[in-house]
Chains A and B, each alone.
Chain A
């Protein structure tokens, strides 16, 4: 069974930093691309960042570029999101997501989501 368990959320002051982690199990982590998606309270879903299975390719939403860094440790089956320069509008539930590529040459899409971890940016 695929399991994605996020941790590291909490209350942080504006301008502060936080590191989110996602522990993956039930699948061969190193074979899958991964993403982070967030959802502000009462709002819709917003894609945040992507990392390739080997960790060499990363993409970021314009809203977090230069402030957030995605990384992974395939030996430990873990995904991370280092967040700095946090702002009130970064307040959201952050979901770890597994991306599936059905065939080479086709783009990947998210097939599994964790339960999320809440990040609150407030003074």
Chain B
């Protein structure tokens, strides 16, 4: 199975800060990577698919990049509503493994 890692596991940033989360795959997954946002007590929500394609309705301050084994999710100007845990997921092959998550706190 493909293993996914994320860093950092938690981060605390101020409103307006640029935030970057890294996701790494144990083998190449081409661009078959999605990013999800999960707010406390809620279901996950798709932000990015195919590594860099923004899901309809998602604010443009979210962006994704990368290919192969290293990927990033960037929030260009952190907003209070962005308090959440962010997960990457590879969908190159079953099982669809998730990263362990990155919890984003607002300072």
Contact = CB atoms under 8 A, between A and B. Distances in A.
Nearest to A47: B96
Contacts of B97: 47
Given A107-B92, A108-B91, A112-B46, 20 more contacts: A44-B98, A44-B100, A44-B101, A45-B36, A45-B38, A45-B44, A45-B98, A45-B101, A47-B89, A47-B95, A60-B95, A62-B1, A62-B95, A102-B50, A109-B34, A109-B91, A110-B34, A110-B96, A111-B49, A111-B55
B94 A45 contact: no
Contacts, number: 61
A50 to B, nearest CB: 6
Given A50-B94, A59-B94, A113 B89 contact: no
Contacts of A114: 43
A35 interface: yes
Given A44-B87, A45-B89, A95-B43, A109 B49 contact: yes
The DSSP consensus for interface residues of chain A is strand
Nearest to B48: A109
B95 A45 contact: no
10 closest A-B pairs (Cβ-Cβ)?
A113-B43, A59-B94, A47-B96, A45-B98, A109-B91, A44-B101, A109-B34, A61-B95, A107-B91, A111-B46
22 contacts: A44-B98, A45-B36, A45-B38, A45-B87, A45-B98, A46-B98, A50-B94, A61-B95, A95-B44, A102-B49, A107-B93, A108-B91, A110-B34, A110-B96, A111-B46, A111-B55, A112-B46, A113-B43, A113-B44, A113-B45, A114-B43, A115-B43
